[in-house]
Each structure stands twice: as C-alpha cells, then as structure tokens.
C-alpha cells in the first residue's frame, strides 16, 4: 500500500482529494480522501452486488455488442461505486458537487469524465468493442497534463451494477470507543458512539435507539487498499490531529493514534480511544 503520493500516476484522487505525505505534519492537506491507483486497477476477484444497481437499457446496446455511451457511463459509475462506496453517497447527495458525463465519443472510443467536488478530473478512455478502459487523473492548477495509469479496467463486468471487492473495508454502521463511562443511573456504556459520514466523524450518545451527535471532527484524508488496510486522518476543533487505522487482527476495530505521522504510532496509541464496530 502506498501511504504517500509520489506522482499522480500512483494515486488517483477520485471524488475525494489527495492526502499528501502521511509523514509530513506540515504539509497542506486538503479536506477529503484519496484512493490508491493500485486499488482501482488491480485485478481483484469480485462478487456481484444486487442491492445497488444502475440500470442499463439492453435495447440501447449496439447489435454488434459494442458498448453504447449510456452503458459506458453506467459502467464507470458502477466501477467507482465499487472501489469507493462513499462516492455513491456523495453522487446522490445534494451536499456535494460531483458528476459523471460522457465527454466525447466515436466508433473507436468513448471518454467518460468524472469530476470531483474539489475539481479533480478523472477520465476513462473506453474501447467500445472490448469494454476496456484506461484511466487518467488531472488536477487543475496542479497538473500540467493528464497522468495515466498503466493498468486497464474491464468495464463490461460492471454493466449490471457495482461489485464487492474482496478485502474491501466499510466504515458504515455504528462504532464505539473502548472507554466506558457510567450514566446518571449507574449503567455503564461507551464514552462515545461514532459514525463516519462523508467528510465528518460524528461523536455522540444514544437516546434509546436514536444516535444524537454531540460534535464532529473533520476527515482530512482516507487511504485504503484491496487488502483491507485502511487509514483515516482527522482533526478536531482544537487542532489535534489523529489517525484511525483498521487493526491487522480484527477488521471491526479501528486503532487510535494521536498523530498523522506513522513513525510516531508506537508512542501515541490509545486503546481507550480506539473504536469497535457495534454488531
């Protein structure tokens, strides 16, 4: 897993912005999350997910079996949703300005453009016959040209909907701190219940079955790969920078480190502030 950006060809900022060097606390790190280009382009065994499907009208498919513009657009969306499920939430939310479009097309090539809310542009150059696509990344004001990936995405397997990537990690659901506190009745419960929502980490408490947010911290960066490794860097209102990292021993545990610098993890780990997923 690459934990820092060397070149744009190694890191594809899709919807969410690049993290910068995880070992440089002085680096200007914009809000958002980054995806490793290897995660997007490595051949991974997949399982179809029937719960979230972008419908493709089969009658639009050309008689020769080539992909149409509509199919290419749908397949790109499904691919992005598969790699980072949060993209689907942002795409369907009114809070974030992200969009997909067919930028150009011909008999030989369809170009699908994905534009993030931060302005990053990711282009998929699709061969209508094979369904294979090359990807480039471009950041206006930063990049001088489109930076290509060396890998090829096989979009036809995404026509029926998003697929579940083996080893992928989701932050969905409710989490809770290991630290416990008593309430006014003497009952003991987690000090904080936690939900991850877009660019925010919400900390709160439960009132019956209802989660009530007490405060939120800003997510500055998220990195993940197909092996299930995941890091979330955040900052609270007091400027304290911290990292959640999926435990190597338990994918339902997020280890807490009060630093963004991996070299300092051993000295800043807090078991009480670490999170466990609530079943």
Q: Which of 206, 185, 34, 46 is nearest to 120 (CA)?
A: 34
Q: Is 30 exposed, middle or buried (0-12, 13-18, 19+ CB in 10 A)?
A: middle
* pTM for the model: 0.53
pLDDT digits (tens, 9 = 90+) for 168-225: 567 889 999 999 999 888 999 999 999 998 778 999 999 989 999 999 998 877 766 5
Domain positions in the chain are 11-165, 175-277
Confidence of residue 62 (pLDDT cuts 50, 70, 90): low
Confidence of residue 40 (pLDDT cuts 50, 70, 90): very low
pLDDT digits (tens, 9 = 90+) for 69-125: 999 999 999 988 887 766 777 777 776 677 899 999 999 999 999 987 777 889 999
Measured CA to CA, the distance from residue 244 to residue 28 in angstroms comes to: 20
Measured CA to CA, the distance from residue 46 to residue 60 in angstroms comes to: 26
């Amino acid at each position: 897993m690459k934990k820092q950006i060397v070149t744009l060809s190694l890191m594809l900022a899709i919807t969410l912005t690049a993290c910068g060097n995880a070992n440089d606390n002085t680096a200007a790190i914009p809000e958002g999350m980054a995806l490793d280009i290897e995660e997007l382009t490595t051949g991974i065994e997949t399982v179809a997910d029937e719960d979230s499907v972008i419908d493709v009208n089969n009658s639009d498919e050309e008689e020769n079996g080539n992909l149409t513009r509509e199919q290419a657009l749908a397949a790109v969306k499904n691919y992005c949703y598969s790699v980072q499920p949060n993209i689907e939430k942002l795409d369907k939310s009114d809070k974030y300005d992200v969009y997909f479009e067919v930028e150009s097309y011909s008999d030989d090539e369809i170009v699908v453009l994905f534009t993030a809310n931060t302005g990053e542009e990711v282009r998929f150059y699709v061969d209508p016959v094979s369904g294979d696509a090359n990807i480039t990344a471009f950041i206006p004001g930063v990049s001088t040209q489109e930076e290509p990936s060396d890998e090829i995405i096989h979009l036809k397997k995404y026509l029926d909907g998003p697929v579940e990537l083996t080893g992928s990690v989701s932050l969905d659901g409710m989490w809770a701190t290991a630290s416990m506190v008593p309430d006014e009745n003497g009952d003991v419960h987690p000090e904080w219940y936690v939900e991850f929502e877009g660019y925010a980490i919400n900390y709160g408490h439960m009132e019956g079955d209802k989660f009530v947010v007490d405060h939120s911290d800003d997510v500055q960066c998220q990195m993940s790969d197909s092996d299930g490794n995941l890091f979330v860097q955040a900052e609270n209102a007091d400027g304290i920078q911290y990292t959640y990292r999926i435990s190597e021993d338990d994918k339902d545990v997020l280890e807490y480190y009060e630093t963004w610098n991996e070299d300092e993890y051993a000295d800043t780990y807090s078991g009480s502030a670490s999170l466990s997923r609530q079943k």
